[in-house]
Amino acid sequence: MGKSYLGIFRMEFKGELQYRAKAISGIATQLFWGLLQIYLYMAFLNTESVDGFSITQMASYIWLGQAFFAMRYILMGKNIGQSITNGNVCYKFVRPLNLYNQWYSETLGQKVASTLLRFPLILIIAALLPVGLGLSAPVSIPALLLCIVGILLGVCMSTTLSMFIVWLTFKTLSEKGSATIISTISGLLSGMVIPLPMMPQAVQNVINYLPFRFVSDLPFRIYIGNVGITDGLIFLAIGFAWLVLLTILGKLLIKSALKKTVIQGG
C-alpha cells in the first residue's frame, strides 16, 4: 500500500534532483531576496525591535524563510495542473491507487527534493554574514529540535494546502488562476510577505491560529526564541490538528469534484 506512494514520491524526488541549474538560480534568487528584505526593513524601522522582535531575530527569520522557500511556497506538483487541463490525468484513474494520495506523494516528493537542494547552501552563506544581517544560532537545542519538527509539519501542511489548488483547478480548469488565488492568500497569512511578528497584535491574534502560519512562521519563531518551548508545543498540536482536518477536507472535496469530472477529447 504505502510502497506505491513511496515509489511515486521517490520518482518525483529523483526527477526534481535532475534540475541543477534551477536549484542554483533558485539559491541566487533567495540570497538576493533575503538581503533585500532585511535591508528594506532596517531602513524603514530604524529601531532595535518591533514589539520585542529584534532586528537580529528578524534577519534569522527571513533567512530561514528563504532557505525553506521551496517548501513554503504553496504549489501543486509541476505536472498536475497541466495534466488536468489537457486530460492526461486519465492515466491516474487507471491505477489501483487513491487519486488524492497520488497527487500528494507527487507534490511532496518535489517539495522535499527542491528544498533539500537549496537550504543547506543558503543557511551556510547566511550564517557567515555579520551579526544583525545574517543567521544567528538557535536559542537552545530543544528549540532547534522543535523547529525541525515544525518544519516537517510545515512541509506536510504546505502539501495539504497545495491539494486545494488541485481541487480548484478541477473546478475552474485554470491552473494559473487557482494557484495564484491560494498562494497569494497563504503567502500573506504565513509570513512570507511581512514577517508575522511585525503585524499588529490584533491581526496576529487571529493569524496565529489559522493553518497558514504553520507552513513556515511557527518553526522559525521557535528557532529565534520568539515563541517559547511550551507555547511551541501547544501550537504544534494545533497545527497537527489543522493538518488532519484539512487533509480530510481536501480528500472529500477532490472526491466530489472527481465525480463530476469529464475528460474531453482524443
Partner 1 sequence: MASIIDFTDICKTFKVPERTKGKWSTFKNFFARKHKLIHALKNVTFEVEEGDIVGYIGPNGAGKSTTIKIMSGILTPTSGTCKINGLVPWKNRREFVKNIGVVFGQRSQLWWDVPVIDSFELLRDIYKIPKDEFDQTLKILDKALNLEDLLGRPLRQLSLGQKMKCELAGSLLHRPKILFLDEPTIGLDAVTKLAVRDFIKFINKEWHTTIILTTHDMSDIEALTNKIILIGKGQILYQGSFDNIKSKYSSAKTIEVEFSKDYDNVELDGYTVVSHNKKYATLKNLPSTEFHTKDFVNQITKKYEVVDFQVSSLSVDEILAKLYKEFELSER
Q: How far apart are CA 244 and CA 156, in angstroms?
A: 10
Q: How far apart are CA 95 and CA 118, in angstroms?
A: 33
Rounded least distance, CB 22 to partner 1, Å: 12
Rounded least distance, CB 73 to partner 1, Å: 21
Listed ranges 14-22, 56-64, 138-146, 206-214: which one lies at the site for partner 1 (CB under 8 A):
14-22
The residue type found at 208 is N
- Evaluated on CA atoms 238, 221, 109, 88, the torsion sign reads positive
Rounded least distance, CB 254 to partner 1, Å: 14
Nearer to partner 1 by Cβ, of 39 and 93: the residue is: 93
Number of residues located near partner 1, criterion CB under 8 A: 27
Cell of 70: 521551496
Nearer to partner 1 by Cβ, of 98 and 140: the residue is: 98
Nearer to partner 1 by Cβ, of 14 and 49: the residue is: 14
Taking a C-beta distance cutoff of 8 angstroms, is the pair 124, 63 a contact? no
DSSP 140: -
> Does residue number 177 form part of the binding site for partner 1 (CB under 8 A)?
no
> Does residue number 15 form part of the binding site for partner 1 (CB under 8 A)?
yes
Cell of 248: 480530510
Residue in the block written with cell 501543486: 76
Listed ranges 25-33, 46-54, 87-95, 229-237: which one lies at the site for partner 1 (CB under 8 A):
87-95
> Does residue number 7 form part of the binding site for partner 1 (CB under 8 A)?
yes
Site string for partner 1, 54-83 (x = CB under 8 A): -------------------------x----
Rounded least distance, CB 14 to partner 1, Å: 6
Residue-wise over 21-57: b if at least 16 C-beta within 10 A, else e? eebeebbeebbeebbebbeebeeeeeeeebeebbbbb
Selected from 14, 22, 176, 255, the binder of partner 1 by CB under 8 A is 14
Selected from 52, 96, 130, 200, the binder of partner 1 by CB under 8 A is 96
Site string for partner 1, 241-260 (x = CB under 8 A): ------------------x-
Residue-wise over 125-155: b if at least 16 C-beta within 10 A, else e? bbeebeeebbbbebbeeebeebbebbbebbb
User: Kind of pairing, strands 53-54 and 49-50?
Assistant: antiparallel
Which spans of this chain sit near partner 1 (rule: CB under 8 A)? 3-4, 6-8, 10-11, 14-15, 18, 79, 87-88, 90-91, 93-98, 259, 261-263, 265-266
